[in-house]
Amino acid sequence: MSESTIIWVHGDNLNPHSAPFQTAPDAPAIFVWDDALLEEWRISLKRIVFIYECLLELPIIIRRGDVAEEVVQFAREHEARRILTSESPSPRHQFLCQTIIKHMPKGSRLEVLREPAFVDGAEKVDLKRFSRYWNAVKKQAMR
């Protein structure tokens, strides 16, 4: 019998062909609107709509609230002991990963999968603003 798995999709990787979907294509997936992050960062409606439109193209359940609580609850609902997600450079993502695994049943695991680089050398680019990143990589990305 195979181990039950869920996929946790986050805002740093909304790709339907991401490593978690490739690894477990039939696993149920969840995205959680992070209430704390939305309030703290005051994310624009334009960006929220963009993210939502991306989410509509993914085979996922969309929830809102505390990300760690919702992901853990989703895993319990599916009796999953394995959670797959994509890596992120965000310190908040790392905090959420630690919180999720702390609240999962003993023997459960969270696997953070590495994605192929979008462009070569992207790790050296200032990621604080998308426009800086895009200006540095657009020629290579549009080939």
pLDDT digits (tens, 9 = 90+) for 29-85: 999 999 888 888 888 899 899 999 999 999 999 999 999 999 999 999 999 999 999
CA distances from 76 to 32, 105, 133 (A): 15, 9, 38
- Per domain, the residue ranges of the chain are 5-117
pTM of structure = 0.83
Reduced to 3 states, what is the DSSP secondary structure of residue 140?
Answer: helix
- pLDDT of 2 > 60? The answer is no
Q: How many residues does the chain have?
A: 143
What is the topology classification, in CATH, of domain 5-117? Rossmann fold (3.40.50)
Helices (H) and strands (E) in the chain, counts: 6, 5
- pLDDT of 121 > 70? The answer is no
103: confidence class by pLDDT, cuts 50, 70, 90: very high
1: confidence class by pLDDT, cuts 50, 70, 90: very low
Q: Where are the beta strands (DSSP E) in 15-124?
A: 29-34, 61-65, 82-86, 109-113
- 133: amino acid identity, one letter: Y
Residue 80 to residue 100: CA distance in whole angstroms: 13
Encoded tokens for 7: 């996929």
**Any idea which of 9-13, 14-18, 127-131 has the lowest mean pLDDT?**
127-131
124: confidence class by pLDDT, cuts 50, 70, 90: low
